[in-house]
């Protein structure tokens, strides 16, 4: 079975994005939820993941609202596919008006 972690970086401030709620879904079913730690990380989301399509939903609106920063994206949704047994890492680089992600290691 596969495992999953994530890391959120605030690209404007140049620091880890602590306190971002991240929810894992498979189709419409919520599997797990967590909040990024002081280093912007969630070490494990979900139990062992089987092959399939998943979504991570990052609550970016609440993160920016705490700092009274206006944002265009109240949430960021990243869909990805688990195809083989391995560890999957999904990083998010975040700013109030842009974001990017990639398949991490």
Is the four-CA dihedral 90, 8, 22, 46 of positive or negative sign?
positive
pLDDT at 9: 98
pTM greater than 0.75: yes
Task: Compute the mean pLDDT over every residue in the chain, rounded to the nearest whole number.
Answer: 96
**pLDDT at 1 exceeding the cut of 90:** no
Query: CA-CA distance, 80 to 86, in Å (whole number)?
Result: 14
- For 63-92, the pLDDT digits (tens) are 999 999 999 999 999 999 999 999 999 999
Token pair in block for residue 105: 């290691």
């Amino acid at each position: 079975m596969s495992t999953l972690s994530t890391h959120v970086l605030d690209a404007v401030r140049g620091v880890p994005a602590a306190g971002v709620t991240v929810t894992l879904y498979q189709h419409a079913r919520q599997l797990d939820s967590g909040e990024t730690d002081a280093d912007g990380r969630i070490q494990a989301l979900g139990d062992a993941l089987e092959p399939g399509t998943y979504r991570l939903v990052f609550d970016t609106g609440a993160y920016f609202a705490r700092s009274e920063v206006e944002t265009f994206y109240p949430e960021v949704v990243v869909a990805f596919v688990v195809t083989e047994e391995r560890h999957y890492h999904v990083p998010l680089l975040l700013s109030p008006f842009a974001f990017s992600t990639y398949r991490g290691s």
